[in-house]
Amino acid sequence: MEEVQVYLFTGFLDAGKTKFIRETLQDKRFNDKEPTLLLVCEEGEEEYEPDAPYMKNVTIRTLGDMSEFNEENLKRLTAEAKATKVVVEYNGMWMLNDFYQLMPEEWVVYQEMMFADANTIESYNAKMRNIVYDKISSCELIIFNRCKKDVDKDALHKLVRAISRKTDIAYEYTDGTAEYDDIVDPLPFDLNADVIEIADRDYALWYRDTTEDMNKYDGKTVSFTALVAIGKEFPADTFVGGRKLMTCCANDVMFAGFVCKTEHRDTLKNGDWVKVTGKIEIRFNALYGRKGPVIHAEKIEKTAAPEEPVATFY
């Protein structure tokens, strides 16, 4: 089964996807005349130029309905185009999980980019937070285009960082110039402190940072407020300490916690709120099914629930 390179471009209607894809296909560094399938999942004001010289090796197909986006159809279209590369202009209202679930096994996403109009994205975020979250959470780069010189980069930066700390950010101005985001993202707690104190409002950021780069926490001592969870299958010295965490909206609330070890688990019960202080060890644990942060609790104190029991990314 030969690998098919996939380049995925997301964003809302008229966000600039078509223009960027057209310019990309004109770039000989990207388009080296290999058979390419271009899947257009929504049509805006900008159009492609099927008769242009750089499009001779490109087969354009329109998928106007999500029902057409299925593995059998995508395999057929790829075979008909004899494509070794697929470019997808994805519909901004379709969820990306559907794309990743339905794409053929031989498709490998090489790059995922999102485009957003700097003048409207905050409105989209306020009205359709779950869809904006869906697109930003997995993209490697987001390009805010149509930026005016007085664009509030801090606001756009915070919008992205509330969802992803890994996504690169670029600003494209109306005069044709562009620049990459260079705003520093310091963590709201001191990694070099003898005891890393995690404020209640920072739990979500700490949880995400730990899961993204757990090794930097190996051997660190941390203190945080947690809800106790104990399962029947847990060892006698083990509980999970965590918080309910909302990633984008109420429908996405999940329990996000860490394996904790203590000799005093018999003093705890499900639903207790506790202040846990302990040293983190990165090791395999059966409850994770892989390596993960195991907290050896040195001190556990019962406490009141946080003012906001559900943790959020601000």
Task: Tell me the HSE value of 218 on the side-chain side, using a 13 A CA sphere.
Answer: 9
Could you identify the residue written with the tokens 């975020």?
Answer: 125
Query: Can you give the pLDDT at residue 249?
Result: 66
Where the chain has pLDDT below 50, the residues are: none
pLDDT per residue as tens digits for the range 160-192: 998 888 899 999 999 999 999 999 888 889 999
pLDDT per residue as tens digits for the range 94-135: 999 999 999 999 999 999 999 999 999 999 999 999 999 999
Q: Per the structure block, which two tokens stand in for 4? A: 């098919």
Query: Can you give the pLDDT at residue 93?
Result: 94
Q: Per the structure block, which two tokens stand in for 266? A: 């018999």
DSSP 186-215: --SS-TTSSSEE--GGGHHHHHHHHHHSGG
Q: Do residues 185 and 161 touch, judged by C-beta distance below 8 A?
A: yes
Eight-state DSSP code of residue 220 = -
Q: Do residues 225 and 274 touch, judged by C-beta distance below 8 A?
A: yes
Q: State the amino acid at position 54 in one-letter form.
A: Y
Q: b or e along 277-286 (b: 16 or more beta carbons within 10 Å of the residue's beta carbon)?
A: bbbbbbeebe
State percent of the chain over pLDDT 90: 87
- List the one residue out of 161, 180, 158, 183 whose CA is nearest residue 171: 180
Eight-state DSSP code of residue 308 = S
Q: Per the structure block, which two tokens stand in for 261? A: 């070890």
Query: Can you give the pLDDT at residue 128?
Result: 93
Q: Per the structure block, which two tokens stand in for 46? A: 């900008």
Sequence-distant (6+) residues with CB within 8 A of 205 are 187, 188, 313
Q: Per the structure block, which two tokens stand in for 235? A: 């060892």
- Please give the sequence-ordered ranges of beta strands (E in DSSP) within 20-106, or none if there are none: 36-40, 58-62, 85-89
Q: How many CB atoms lie within 10 A of CB 259?
A: 21
Residue 238 to residue 283: CA distance in whole angstroms:
14
Query: DSSP 3-state assignment of 265?
Result: helix
Query: Can you give the pLDDT at residue 164?
Result: 87
Query: Can you give the pLDDT at residue 119?
Result: 95
- List the one residue out of 199, 201, 311 whose CA is nearest residue 253: 311
Query: Can you give the pLDDT at residue 1?
Result: 67
